[in-house]
Amino acid sequence: MCAINGILAYHYAANPIDRAELVRTREHMAARGPDGTGEWIAEDGRVGFGHRRLSIIDLSEAGAQPMASADGRLVVTFNGEIYNYRALRRALEARGRVFRSRSDTEVLLHLYAEKGEAMVHDLRGMFAFAIWDAQHRTLFLARDPYGIKPLYYADDGWTFRFASQVKALLAGGAVSRDPEPAGQVGFYLWGSVPEPFTTWAAIRALPAGATLMVDRIGASEPRRYHSIAQVYCEAETVARSRHAPAGADSSAEIRAALLDSVRHHLVADVPVGAFLSAGIDSGALVGLMRDAGQHEIQTVTLAFEEFRGRADDEAPLAEEIARLYGTRHTTRIVTEAEFKADLPRILDAMDQPSIDGINTWFVSKAAHELGLKVAVSGLGGDELFGGYPSFRDIPRWVRLLAVPSRVPLLGKAARRLGQRLGTAADLSPKVAGMVEYGGTYAGAYLLRRGLFMPWELGQVLDRDVVVTGLRRLGPLPRIAGELEPHPRSAHAKVATLESALYMRNQLLRDTDWASMAHSLEVRVPLVDAVLLRRLAGVVGALPQSASLEAKASLARSPSFALPARITTRAKTGFTTPIADWLQDRRPTGTLAVPRHAIPTTAHWSRRWAGQLAAA
C-alpha cells in the first residue's frame, strides 16, 4: 500500500517536467507511505514517477518503487496489493520470465510486457498503478474493479499529471483550482462527490474498473473493463440456462467462496488484524480468518461513553465475538475531547468532502496505535448480501409508483404540493418527490440515498452553480447508467447501485483517506471481483423474502457460526456520536458556502454538509 504520482509532458512543445513539483506532490502523501520514498525521471526529462512506500509484501529494498524492468523498457509505480500475485508469478516463470524480487509489483511489469492493457483481467486485488512504456512512449493507468484504491489525474492539453490524492495534485502547484459545479452539486445530493468528478474542474478520478492510455497526442477516454451490473446479468443468464433457482443449497457455496476470498486477503509479510464490530460482516470475517489458518489475530473495536448501556454500544458483543474466536482484542474508547482535538487533522486528511469517514479515522488510529499495518474490514457485506433497508424499500416504491410516475405532470404537481404540506407538517423533504421519482430504480435510489433533493439545492448553492452542476452531473442518467446492461432481479439492481455508488463514492473513499492518514492498509474481502462472480448467481436473484437468509449464510460461514445474539440483533451501523459532537463546529473545506443557514433542527448529516464549506 502506497502513494503514487507522476508527470508526463506529452506535447512536443511542453516544457520538461519539474522535479520539484513531482516531489511536492509525492511528499504531500507522506502518511500513505512512511517506509520509503522513490522517484524516477526519464533521461529526456519528459516523464517522471514518484512513490511513497508502506511495505507489506517483500519488505526488502528489492520491492522499492518506482520499479523498472530488467531491460529498462517499462517502469511502474503502484499502489495496492495483488492477492493472486504468487499464482501469476508461477505462470510467468513457467513461460520463461525471470524475477529479481518477491514483490507483487514486479508481476505487473512482466504481465504488461506479455499482455499489455489486457493484463487487468488477470489481477485480483485492490490497485491503482501507472506503467511507462519507453518503447511505445505511452503511459498506461489502471484502477481495480470496485475502485478500492483511488487514482486522480489532470490534463491541461500539454502535460498529464496523476496522483493518489486530489490534494496532492493541488500541492504540486501546477493544477488549476477552478471549482467544479458538478462536484459541488453531487456532494450536496449524496454527501460525497460522485466519480469521475471532484470538486475541482481540472481534476478527474479514473473510474473504478477502468484503464486510460496517454500517448504523444494526449489522454484517451477511460475504458471500462469491469461492470458490476454485467456480472449480475451474466450470473442470471447462467442460472436460467441451468434451470436452477438462484440461492438453492447455497450455504456451502457461500462458505467456500468467502473462505477463498479471505485466504487471498491474508497474503502479507506483516501481521493482519481486523476491525471488529457487533455485526455479522466483521464477525464472520474474523471467524473465517481463523479457518484460513491465522491463529494470532489482533482485533479492535470502538466504544463511546455516550453509547454505554445502549443498543449502539458495539463493545460488549464485539468482545463476545473476540472470545469466541480467540483473538487478542482491544476496545478503544473515543471521547468528544479527542474528536475535537483531531478534527483539524481529519479535515486536512479528508481528500474530498464527505459526511462520513470519522468512524474509520478513529478505528484506524486505534489499529495504528496497536502496531498494525494491515487490518481487515467487513465493508461490502451489506451491498453483497442485501443488508440495507434499500433492498426492501426501493423495489417496493418502484412497484407502487411505476404507473403514477408516468402520468404527465402529475409528479411535479405532487412535488410542489408536497413541499408546501411537508413544510407545514415538518415531514422529510423526500416525501414530496415520491410520485415524481419513486417509480424508477434511478429515482427511487436518489430518494433513498439523497442528502438534499434536487429541488432543495437552491437553498445551499447559487442558482448558476445548481443549473450548471445538474446539467454536467445528470444525476438520474448517471444512476441509471450503472444498471446497464440491466440485471433482472430486484436484489441485483439494488446491489449494483449500492456497490457502484454509495460504497464506491463514499465508503471505500472514506476508508482510504481515513486509514492511510494513519499509515494503515485496510483490506475488504467482501469487496472482491472474484467473490462477486462466484456469488452473483447465488444471492443476485434472491427474492426479497430471502435476503435475511443470505445474511444468515454469511453468519454461518465460519466453522464456529456466530451466535444468535449477533445474528438477530437490530442493525445499528458503524456509528459515532457525531450528531452531538458537531454542534457549533465550523470546519473549512472546498465547497461553496451555503446561501442560507441550514436549520439547527435538520438531520446531523445535513448540518455537517453545510459546515464542510469554505469559511
**Per-residue pLDDT tens over the stretch 276-325:** 999 999 999 999 999 999 999 999 999 998 888 777 788 999 999 999 99
The count of other CB atoms within 10 Å of the CB of residue 427 is: 13
Q: What is the rounded average pLDDT of the residues 476-489?
A: 96
Q: What is the four-CA torsion angle of 515, 521, 524, 528, rounded to 10 degrees? A: 130
Residue 514 pLDDT > 60: yes
pLDDT, position 453? 95
pLDDT, position 574? 53
Radius of gyration, alpha carbons of the chain = 24
Cell, residue 512: 482510504
Q: Which range, of 3-12, 191-200, 236-245, averages the lowest pLDDT?
A: 236-245
Query: Do 137 and 30 share a structural domain?
Result: yes
Query: What burial letters (b/e) apply to 287-309, b meaning 16+ CB within 10 Å?
Result: bbbbbbebeebbbbbbbbebbee
Query: Do 238 and 212 share a structural domain?
Result: no
Does some domain include residue 396?
no
Q: What is the rounded average pLDDT of the residues 350-375?
A: 96
User: Residue 76 is part of which domain span?
Assistant: 2-226
Please, which pLDDT band fits residue 154 given cuts at 50, 70 and 90? very high
Residue 24 pLDDT > 60: yes
Residue 544 pLDDT > 80: no
The count of other CB atoms within 10 Å of the CB of residue 419 is: 18
Query: Do 245 and 204 share a structural domain?
Result: no
Does some domain include residue 114?
yes
The count of other CB atoms within 10 Å of the CB of residue 592 is: 20
Whether the CB-CB separation of 233 and 487 falls below 8 Å is answered with yes
- At 274, which amino acid appears? A
Helix, strand or coil for residue 333? strand
pLDDT, position 475? 97
Query: To the nearest whole percent, how much of the chain has pLDDT over 90?
Result: 79
Does some domain include residue 207?
yes
Where a domain ends, among 226, 260, 287? 226
Helix, strand or coil for residue 271? coil
Residue 121 pLDDT > 90: yes
Q: What is the rounded average pLDDT of the residues 101-108?
A: 96
pLDDT, position 580? 73
pLDDT, position 87? 98
Residue 249 pLDDT > 70: no
Please, which pLDDT band fits residue 559 given cuts at 50, 70 and 90? very high
Whether the CB-CB separation of 585 and 611 falls below 8 Å is answered with yes
Phi/psi of residue 254, nearest 5 degrees = -65, -45
Where a domain ends, among 226, 260, 291? 226
List, as one string, the DSSP characters of 375-396.
Answer: EE--TTHHHHHT-STHHHHHHH
Q: Which residues are within 8 A (CB) of 584 and not within 5 positions of it... i.e. 6 or more apart?
A: none
The residue behind cell 506483516 is 270
Q: Which range, of 211-215, 248-252, 485-489, 562-566, averages the lowest pLDDT?
A: 248-252
Q: Which range, of 338-347, 380-389, 421-430, averages the lowest pLDDT?
A: 421-430
Residue 244 pLDDT > 80: no
Query: Do 346 and 318 share a structural domain?
Result: yes
Query: Do 362 and 278 share a structural domain?
Result: yes
List, as one string, the DSSP characters of 153-220.
Answer: EEE-SSEEEEES-HHHHHHTT-S---B-HHHHHHHHHHSBPPTT--SBTTEEEPPTTEEEEEETTEEP
pLDDT, position 307? 81
**Per-residue pLDDT tens over the stretch 424-460:** 667 788 988 999 999 999 999 999 999 999 999 998 9
Please, which pLDDT band fits residue 246 given cuts at 50, 70 and 90? very low
The helix (run of H) or strand (run of E) holding residue 412 is helix 410-425
CA distances from 281 to 16, 321, 372 (A): 50, 12, 21
Query: Do 337 and 188 share a structural domain?
Result: no
Query: Do 233 and 271 share a structural domain?
Result: yes
3-state secondary structure 294-319: CCCCEEEEEEEHHHCCCCCCCHHHHH
pLDDT, position 293? 95
The CATH code of the domain that includes 559 is 3.40.50.620
Please, which pLDDT band fits residue 150 given cuts at 50, 70 and 90? very high
Does some domain include residue 406?
no
Residue 613 pLDDT > 90: no
Higher pLDDT, 2 or 5: 5
CB neighbour class for 441 (10 Å; exposed up to 12, middle 13-18, buried from 19): buried
**Per-residue pLDDT tens over the stretch 28-48:** 999 999 999 999 999 999 999
pLDDT, position 44? 96
Cell, residue 383: 451491498
**Per-residue pLDDT tens over the stretch 567-576:** 887 766 556 7
Q: Which range, of 66-70, 80-84, 429-433, 537-541, averages the lowest pLDDT?
A: 537-541
Residue 396 pLDDT > 90: yes
Residue 265 pLDDT > 70: yes
pTM: 0.94
d(CA 81, CA 83): 6
Query: Do 221 and 241 share a structural domain?
Result: no
The CATH code of the domain that includes 202 is 3.60.20.10
Among the listed residues 1, 351, 26, 13, the one whose alpha carbon sits nearest the alpha carbon of residue 161: 26
Q: Which residues are within 8 A (CB) of 281 and not within 5 positions of it... i.e. 6 or more apart?
A: 378, 379, 380, 381, 382, 387, 526, 554
Does some domain include residue 54?
yes
Phi/psi of residue 143, nearest 5 degrees = -135, 145
pLDDT, position 588? 45
- The per-residue pLDDT of the chain, averaged, comes to 92
Cross-sheet strand order for the sheet of 47-53: 36-41, 47-53, 2-9, 159-163, 152-155, 203-205
Please, which pLDDT band fits residue 596 given cuts at 50, 70 and 90? low
Query: Do 195 and 130 share a structural domain?
Result: yes
The count of other CB atoms within 10 Å of the CB of residue 435 is: 22
Residue 614 pLDDT > 50: no
Does some domain include residue 189?
yes
CB neighbour class for 420 (10 Å; exposed up to 12, middle 13-18, buried from 19): exposed
Does some domain include residue 456?
no
Q: Which range, of 310-314, 430-434, 520-524, 552-556, averages the lowest pLDDT?
A: 310-314
The residue behind cell 481495480 is 144
Query: Do 262 and 172 share a structural domain?
Result: no
Q: What is the four-CA torsion angle of 121, 127, 133, 134, rounded to 10 degrees? A: -170
Q: What is the rounded average pLDDT of the residues 517-521?
A: 98
Higher pLDDT, 607 or 254: 254
Query: Do 193 and 116 share a structural domain?
Result: yes
Please, which pLDDT band fits residue 591 given cuts at 50, 70 and 90? low
Residue 248 pLDDT > 60: no
Does some domain include residue 409?
no
Cell, residue 251: 450455504
- At 123, which amino acid appears? L
Q: What is the rounded average pLDDT of the residues 491-507?
A: 97
Q: Work out how many domains the chain is built from and give that number.
A: 2
Residue 243 pLDDT > 80: no
pLDDT, position 421? 75
Where a domain ends, among 179, 194, 226? 226
Query: What burial letters (b/e) apply to 392-404, b meaning 16+ CB within 10 Å?
Result: ebbbebbeebeee
Cell, residue 564: 444468535
Query: Do 235 and 93 share a structural domain?
Result: no
